[in-house]
């Protein structure tokens, strides 16, 4: 599970593994494709999470 800010419904939603539809890439970054509770197809970018963690640690 992870928390994602949906760009369609503009809410932070808890995403369950059952909602994940597969792997995806966006702007050259790899991530997970999933369907939000609102029905919107979203992509959770893995690279962005790594970068954010790196900035937070610095």
Q: Which residues bind Zn ion (CB under 5 A)?
A: 6, 8-9, 36, 38, 40
Q: Which CB atom, from 14 or from 38, has the smaller least distance to Zn ion?
A: 38
Give per-residue burial for 24-39: e unless 16+ CB within 10 Å, then b: beeeeeebbbbebeee
Give the three-state DSSP class for 56.
Answer: helix
Q: How far is the CB of 7 from Zn ion (least distance, A)?
A: 8
Residue 8 and residue 16 in contact, taking contact as beta carbons nearer than 8 Å: no
Q: Which CB atom, from 11 or from 48, has the smaller least distance to Zn ion?
A: 11
Q: Which CB atom, from 7 or from 51, has the smaller least distance to Zn ion?
A: 7
């Amino acid at each position: 599970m992870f928390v994602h800010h949906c760009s369609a419904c503009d809410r932070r939603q808890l995403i369950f593994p059952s909602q994940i539809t597969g792997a995806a890439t966006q702007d050259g970054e790899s991530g997970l494709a999933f369907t939000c509770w609102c029905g919107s197809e979203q992509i959770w970018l893995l690279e962005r999470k790594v970068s954010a963690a790196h900035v937070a640690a610095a």
